[in-house]
Chain A
């Protein structure tokens, strides 16, 4: 699991690579929250194009970050998810809370 967060023209982009499960979500949660609390980005995009696996632990991870961002005055976007990850996203109904592009 690999995470890099960059500020690209004023917008924060978190690039995730690898597999998201209960085991890897813990570390991602800590790193993303550190960034959100320190930088309070008005918008954060999680780029999932490098994610090769995600189960429902990923839904918890996305929801938790979305909530924290909102508390910090920002909003979350999910982009680049592969088809099999989109199926988990769709099943969860998370698209009603977070923008998926």
Chain B
């Protein structure tokens, strides 16, 4: 993957940074001339991943969240959200629609489903006690098509 441009944004796990992360992504992607729908999809997917780091990764604790956004050759966007929180023991179960470990907080268990359907590729790597890395890829519409 040839990288045309990239940014890295590191933030503490404060819930107010969920919107900060979306704003950073939106600003960075101005250069890629996205459709309203493409931008909205990416903002939503990023919001889900960052929220998971805040809510689940650093549950009862706090730490850093690292957001990386890359603009790749061939009009593709790469997104990576990394936390050094509690990690996920069963990734397959965690990714099942409606599965949540925090129903009392009104989590809907749909975060991974949203990430999956609003991007083209979703990968989750996690180690209990070490943290979680979520990567997503989305191909953008080619100009004039």
Contacts and interface: CB of A to CB of B under 8 A. Distances in A.
A92 B19 contact: no
Interface residues on A, range: 20 to 34
Given A21-B51, A53-B43, A55-B44, A92 B18 contact: no
Interface stretch (B60-68, B81-89, B102-110, B124-132): B102-110
Interface string B36-57: 1100110110011001001100
A95 interface: no
Q: By CB atoms of chain B within 10 A, which of A24, A55, A91 has the most? A: A55
Interface string A53-69: 11111011101100000
Interface residues on B, range: 20 to 34
Contact of A22 (B36, B37, B55, B118): B55
Interface string A34-77: 00000000000000000001111101110110000000000000
13 contacts: A23-B16, A23-B19, A24-B19, A53-B22, A55-B111, A56-B111, A57-B107, A60-B105, A60-B106, A60-B107, A63-B106, A64-B106, A91-B114
A84 B106 contact: no
Nearest to B17: A23
